[in-house]
């Protein structure tokens, strides 16, 4: 057998094997942001936006997510009276089975969003961010500055 011919065939075989291997490695993990191989994902993408009126005690339905490992949640104000943002949104609380919860282990969780009455007359917004491994999900919480009847909520003594 000719040495040059053997060398050419070997190089071609190595190139083909490398291309096949790279294809498998490139397709290994992600199927888009928070796809089925992600460390965390929302069960229903429609739950990423939650809203309530000024006198509501919660957003109603909460949201369910699946975490493959330990997770940690935080809530940050994104829009408040005067346009300030980035601070802690103390008016938003996350609960699981009636207990305030901001962390957990692997599994499926439903977090309810409870909120304080908004007496400011201004719309406010917060973002709930949950991090698990290298992935994160975000849920936007918006609370109007008025009641459903377009009035300011009554303050009780």
Question: Strand, coil or helix: what is 81?
Answer: helix
The strand pairing partners of 155, in sequence order, are none
pLDDT in tens, the chain (157 residues): 566 666 666 655 565 645 544 444 333 343 445 556 799 999 999 999 999 999 999 998 899 999 999 999 999 999 765 555 567 899 999 999 999 999 999 999 999 999 999 998 999 999 999 999 999 999 999 999 999 888 778 776 5
> Is there a domain that residue 157 lies in?
no
In the chain, how many domains are there?
2
Residues 74 and 111 in one domain: yes
Closest CA to 55 of 97, 91, 100, 89: 91
Residues 92 and 22 in one domain: no
Dihedral, 94, 56, 41, 39 alpha carbons, nearest 10: -10
Residues 113 and 139 in one domain: yes
Q: What is the pLDDT of residue 1?
A: 55
* Token output for 155: 């303050």
Render 85-103 in DSSP notation, one character per residue: -SSB-TTEEEEETTEE-SE
Please tell me the distance from the alpha carbon of residue 88 to that of residue 92, in angstroms, as a whole number: 9
> Is there a domain that residue 122 lies in?
yes
Q: Which domain holds residue 129?
A: 40-143
């Amino acid at each position: 057998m000719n040495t040059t011919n053997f060398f050419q065939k070997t190089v071609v075989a190595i190139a083909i094997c490398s291309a096949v291997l790279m294809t498998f490695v490139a397709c290994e993990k992600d199927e888009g942001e928070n796809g089925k191989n992600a460390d965390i994902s929302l069960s229903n993408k429609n739950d990423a936006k939650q809203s309530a009126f000024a006198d509501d005690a919660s957003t109603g339905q909460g949201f369910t997510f699946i975490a493959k490992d330990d997770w940690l949640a935080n809530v940050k104000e994104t829009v408040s009276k005067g346009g300030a943002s980035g601070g802690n949104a103390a008016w938003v609380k996350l609960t699981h089975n009636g207990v305030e919860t901001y962390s957990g282990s692997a599994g499926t969780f439903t977090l309810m969003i409870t909120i304080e009455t908004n007496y400011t007359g201004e719309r406010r917004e917060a973002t709930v961010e949950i991090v698990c491994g290298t992935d994160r999900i975000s849920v936007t919480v918006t609370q109007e500055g008025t009641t459903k009847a377009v009035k300011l909520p009554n303050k009780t003594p």
